[in-house]
């Protein structure tokens, strides 16, 4: 019932917004329920996260190609409007508003960081747009910053860390240090991991945080070496992760470590750059590329054909976001964001990442999580999936701070 009331409120808000801005339907060339279904993608185009932004767009592109080749959704084609941002929340919010009010976008994807999503979530109801988050992991996005117009496709930090926690007790090393990026995801990951480590009987001897786009980790690595830690949990992304790993190797940090466990620190696009120094590293794996399902095979083959390389978790999660959106439009029989949001409540969808359900209380997508270990094979470095943890283990009850 609350969703229905919100839908009605949003319809009024959207009509007023369009009247003030010059109706979005004018710029799209017709009625919102006719013509193409427009999705605005707003990835970072520079800085440490640019590669992930590019790859997220690639996942959406493959999904849209396949659905359009199959005739679209209810006979309507899907159109991507690829924008760009510097990952600053104010910039991203401005670009999103322009995409909705001027370009006629009804849906938003490929926004990268949790601070961007937090700012966007607060405005989605007024914009009358539905956002699909396949990248930002902060738990607050399905807590106090949640929105009935934001679908959280990716696992939250807590879900990832809860999956890793299942294996902490068996991992070599008793004294753990935490090295994390100094923004929301890094701090929430550190807090959750520390609690899980202590529950497993491990000691956390150091916590430290480096600003995003740090290039010199020398002082941080020196503190890690002096802490007496024999294991490290690292939350450093993109170019930051590359800099940390390479400099840790130069400082011979690995010589005193029994385990390096990363959260989104090492991923397939970075294997060639990082080289064999990361063999034996552990990392959360949100997507099992080797999953033997028809949906995953179709995605993997199509993505490889489109982009010349095998997919990994970033494009895979973007593709899953697209599949969930398309299923919601079909279920609603409409592309109106409020109606799609209502149709997605507790909807189960078969995707490339498995069978998933959109939890109605907070729009968190319930899905499996994995722990991978970097191994060397005939084809180079790869992840060997060590554990598979189901959503009923990794996902806590929805946060009461999230109110729809």
Domains of the chain: 2-155+290-367 (3.40.50.2300), 158-285+370-394 (3.40.50.2300)
DSSP letters of 314-335? HHHHHHHHHHHHHHHHHHHTS-
Assign 30 a pLDDT band (cuts: 50, 70, 90). very low
Task: Quote the CA–CA distance of 150 and 153 in Å, as a whole number.
Answer: 9
Asked if 319 contacts 299 with a C-beta cutoff of 8 angstroms, the reply is yes
Mean pLDDT of the chain: 90
Give CA–CA dist 343/151, Å, rounded. 12
Give the CA distances from residue 180 to residues 32, 46, 277, 370, in Å, rounded to whole numbers and listed in that order.
Answer: 44, 21, 20, 20
pLDDT in tens, 254-284: 999 999 999 989 988 889 999 999 999 999 9
pLDDT digits (tens, 9 = 90+) for 76-123: 999 999 999 999 999 999 999 999 999 999 999 999 999 999 999 999
Question: 69 pLDDT band (50/70/90 cuts)?
Answer: very high
pLDDT tens for 287-331 read 988 899 999 999 999 999 999 999 999 999 999 999 999 999 999
Q: What is the mean pLDDT of residues 201-230?
A: 97
3-state DSSP assignment of residue 285:
strand
CB atoms within 10 A of CB 145: 23
pLDDT of residue 267: 85
Going by C-beta distance under 8 Å and a sequence separation of 6 or more, which residues neighbour residue 164? 193, 196, 261, 263, 282, 284, 371
Q: At what angle are helices 2-21 and 114-127 packed, to 10 degrees?
A: 80
**pTM score, whole prediction:** 0.82
Q: pLDDT tier at 364 (50, 70, 90 boundaries)? A: very high
């Amino acid at each position: 019932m609350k969703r229905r009331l919100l839908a009605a409120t949003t319809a009024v808000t959207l009509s007023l917004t369009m009247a003030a801005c010059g109706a979005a339907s004018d710029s799209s060339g017709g009625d919102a329920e006719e013509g193409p279904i427009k999705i605005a993608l707003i990835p970072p185009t520079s800085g440490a996260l640019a590669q992930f932004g590019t790859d997220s767009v690639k996942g959406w592109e493959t999904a849209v190609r396949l659905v359009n080749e199959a005739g679209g959704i209810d006979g309507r084609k899907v159109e991507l409007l690829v924008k760009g941002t510097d990952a600053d929340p104010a910039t991203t919010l401005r670009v999103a508003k322009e995409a909705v009010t001027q370009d006629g976008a009804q849906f938003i994807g490929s926004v990268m960081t949790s601070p961007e999503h937090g700012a966007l979530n607060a405005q989605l109801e007024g914009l009358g747009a539905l956002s699909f988050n396949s990248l930002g992991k902060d738990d607050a996005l399905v807590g106090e910053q949640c929105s009935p117009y934001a679908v959280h496709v990716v696992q939250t930090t807590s879900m990832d860390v809860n999956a890793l926690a299942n294996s902490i007790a068996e991992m070599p090393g008793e004294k753990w240090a935490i090295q994390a990026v100094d923004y929301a995801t890094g701090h929430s990951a550190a807090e959750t991991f520390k609690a899980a480590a202590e529950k497993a009987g491990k000691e956390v001897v150091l916590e430290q945080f480096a600003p995003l786009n740090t290039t010199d980790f020398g002082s941080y690595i020196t503190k890690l070496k002096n802490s007496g830690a024999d294991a490290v949990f690292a939350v450093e992304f993109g170019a930051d992760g590359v800099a940390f790993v390479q400099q840790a190797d130069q400082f011979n940090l690995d010589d005193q470590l029994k385990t390096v466990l990363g959260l989104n620190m090492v991923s397939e696009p970075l294997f060639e750059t990082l080289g064999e120094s990361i063999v034996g590293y552990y990392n959360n794996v949100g997507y099992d590329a080797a999953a033997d399902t028809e949906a995953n095979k179709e995605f993997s083959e199509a993505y490889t054909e489109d982009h010349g390389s095998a997919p990994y978790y970033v494009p895979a999660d973007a593709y899953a976001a697209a599949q969930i959106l398309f299923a919601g439009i079909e279920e609603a029989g409409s592309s109106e964001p409020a109606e799609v949001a209502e149709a997605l409540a507790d909807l189960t969808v078969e995707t490339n990442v498995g069978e998933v359900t959109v939890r109605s209380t907070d729009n968190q997508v319930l899905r499996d999580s994995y722990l991978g270990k970097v191994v060397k094979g005939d084809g180079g470095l790869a992840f060997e999936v060590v554990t598979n943890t189901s959503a009923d283990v990794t996902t806590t009850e929805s946060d009461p701070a999230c109110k729809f």
